[in-house]
Structure 1
Amino acid sequence: MTSEDEDRRENWLQDFLDELPEMTCQLEEMNKTGYRFCDECKKLDIVDEMHHCKKCSLQLCGNCIYKNHRSHKAITLLQKEASLMSHELCDLSISEVQTYHQLFSGLHKELSDGLEGFDQKLLEKKRDLTNASTFEDLMEKNKKSTELKTDFEKCSEEYMPHVRKYEKRVKELMKTLDDDPN
């Protein structure tokens, strides 16, 4: 092999490597748009016209399924893809919804316990008013208790719209699922 042949080969290899990322992107895009290569004849075809041979676990064009796999159990590739997507979506959705459900249940319990504790402590502060030694002490204790109550109200008023908005959005999503004919 001459040095010129080696240079050509290196250039060809480098050109191929330079184009590889773009070719990979094109193949991924074809998969997204519903095209697949037949595992036997390598023909590019649309998913709607292809089949999945269950015995061989191959995706095949109509010609190859007929010629070489007609005695095997097969389903359309569309059915296979739908089943895979359905399982994946179901697994991810269930996991995510359950995670939030557990998170919100825990937060709700902690929040509820916290509110109960805050309520008890606030009542103790109000009872403390009767232990005031002077009118000035009484006014100071009342001021502090009132400020705590006001801060609590303010905090709650800031928090509630977010909870209501979240609840409303979840209901809208549920309605979308109910209204979807598919």
Structure 2
Amino acid sequence: MLKNYIKNGLKVLGDYCAGLLIYFILLYTFIAITGEKFSFWLPLYSVLMFIIIALLIYSDMWNLAVKEKRPQYDLNPYPMKGLIIGLIGFFPIVVISLVAFLVSFSEPVLNNLKDALLHNILLGPLYFVISIFGKKVYGYIIGMLLVPLFSMFGYLMGFYGKTIRKRKEVTMEKKQELSPWNPYRKDTDDKKKKKKKKTNRV
């Protein structure tokens, strides 16, 4: 049972790391574009990257819930399982962040480097929340809870068979009737009449 939680938790961690990789790859381009206004635009960049992570987590958890509800797997899923999976999956990031938060160096340069790595890299996609709360402890807590919450949301939606997108209903288009004054309609009507006469003669 625990193995199942850890395995699925690693999916959440993998999704976050995948988003983090995209964040890191595009960061240099973003810095080059924004220049001196990098700090000003960083929260917006953070939001965009978090949306990517949220979509990845949502998709994986939705599919997981749908799969686990099938009777052949006999996993007995429950609606809030996604939250537990999200907490387990994001736990390594929390531990690393906590260690970085508690460790302090005597050299200011090292402390600045540590803060830059923590805010701009490891917690980069969550920086928009952290910055809103002025980099306070509760800001970090709220930011870190976003990942488990999206994991819970995705699993809930899959568990109850709900989707964000509305399914398109397939409707048969009716053939547009030709105007009685259309010459093509007259030709087709004449052909139909001729066919009827032939069948009547037979």
Range of TM-score over shorter length = under 0.3
Structure number with greater CO (CA < 8 Å, separation at least 6) is: 2
Q: Output the TM-score relative to the length of structure 2.
A: 0.23
Give the greater-gyration-radius structure (CA).
1
Q: Output the TM-score relative to the length of structure 1.
A: 0.25
